[in-house]
Amino acid sequence: MSKGIFITLEGLDGSGKTTQIKRLADWLALCGRETVLTRQPGGTVTGDKIRELLLSSRSTSISPMTEMALMFADRAQAIAEVIRPALEAGKVVLCDRYTDSTEAYQGGGRQLGSELVLELHRIICGGLNPDLTLLLLPELEPSLERARKRNQRTTKDAGPDENRFELEEEAFHRRVWEKYHEIACREPGRVVLIEGALSIDEVHERIVQAVEKKINVLK
């Protein structure tokens, strides 16, 4: 049985993660790799309930510590129910966000710091780290504008209200952006940084190159 591979996609809201994770899954299928797609928060029945609470713009009184605790509660359930079983079965797990998001958004954006996030990750996630993280970091302002417009369209079409983080001021998102850069500099062996004004095809090409390299190393 092939070794399971854990790949996460990270980045700002509006960075194109959803598009890229679907394209990567299609490419892996063509390569004959069985793939499991999941997301955080969400991806399980419990996680979807947590996602609704955390991302809804109606959730206006959640403290930063509560927010972080809920993110890790969601993650613990996803690891037990989805991620570990898929890896043990030799599948490729593609996860839209993981602990790097918590470090960026709660550690950086909410200013809780990295140390607490990483300690909770060690305790709750049991040392389960991605084999590869693809970090998409286009320019902050265009990315945030795309995310806000997307969520407005979704809400208008009677879709889920997931606008809570997009409603934060630019200073919050700037701290998130800077924390992501810090993570990439700290862990260059795991994190592949893809930044700048690139086309969808250009981003996909860089992702494929990084994944091919990682798969070859792990064979």
- H/E run at residue 144: helix 140-156
> Can you say how many angstroms the Cα of residue 95 is from the centroid of all Cα atoms in its chain?
6
CA distance 37 to 147: 21
Residue for token digits 């790097």?
Answer: 100
CA distance 36 to 25: 8
State yes or no: cis peptide before 85, omega within 30 of 0.
Answer: no
Return the beta strands (E) in 48-189 as ranges.
92-96, 132-137
Q: What is the pLDDT of residue 1?
A: 47
Domains of the chain listed by start with CATH number: 5-218 (3.40.50.300)
Which residue, 132, 133, 170, is CA-closest to 148? Answer: 170
Q: What is the pLDDT of residue 217?
A: 67
Whole-Å CA distances, 106 to 37, 125, 178, 203: 24, 17, 13, 26
Q: What are the mean pLDDT values of the chain's consecutive 10-residue runs (219 residues total)?
A: 87 90 96 95 97 91 96 98 97 98 98 97 94 92 70 62 84 95 97 92 96 80
CA distance 168 to 161: 15
Q: Is the dihedral of CA 141, 146, 151, 157 positive or negative?
A: positive
CA distance 165 to 148: 10
Q: What is the pLDDT of residue 155?
A: 59
Is the whole-model pTM more than 0.85?
A: yes
CA distance 138 to 155: 24
CA distance 59 to 41: 15
State yes or no: cis peptide before 41, omega within 30 of 0.
Answer: yes
Q: Which residues, other chains included, contact 182 with Cβ-Cβ below 8 Å and sequence gap of 6+?
A: 108, 114
CA distance 200 to 203: 5
∠ Cα 51 53 55 (to 5°): 65
